[in-house]
Amino acid sequence: MQETELKIRTVGDPVLRRKAKKVGRVTPAHRQILSRMARLMYEASGIGLAAPQVGIDEQMIVVDIGKGLYKLVNPRIVRREGRQAIDEGCLSCPGVSVRVPRARKIVVESLDDEGKEITFEAQDLLACVLQHEIDHLLGKLIVDYAPLWKRLTMKKKLREKRNL
């Protein structure tokens, strides 16, 4: 099997707007993709990356806020508590920052990269990043949280960046 190069897709790529498919069974190919996604995330100085951001239409994310790498398959939030709003950036929306309202504390159910069911609690920045990446699996981007006037400005900025 030939390994295709993963690259980060940016706003305007239709894959970013599609709802990702649930993974039936975690295979060695999924583990390889998760590892490649993690490498790409680190190379891009990111703290999270979802499979749709690299053109893969499956529910997989990688996250590392500096306290260890999470490789998650079919993650879903089962509980939310509190509120926070952090200015978020996104590897798929270069040069754009949006203050996004999120839960301060969440509980996530997922499969790990070995296919084992896991449940864990996350709060503050980790909770924010997990919510951000899970949004990607639903076809939602940070620009969707911006007020209309700011979205219009961001669209122009993103178009200009693409044309450089």
**Cβ count near 50 (within 10 Å):** 29
Helices (H) and strands (E) in the chain, counts: 3, 7
Q: Kindly list the distances between the CA atom of residue 49 and the CA atoms of 15, 16, 62, 125, 164, in Å, as whole numbers in the listed order.
A: 14, 12, 5, 15, 24
Among residues 58, 88, 117, 133, which one is catalytic? Answer: 133
Q: Which H/E stretch holds residue 30? A: helix 28-43
* Helix, strand, or coil (residue 70): strand
Catalytic-residue membership of 58 = no
Residues labelled catalytic: 133
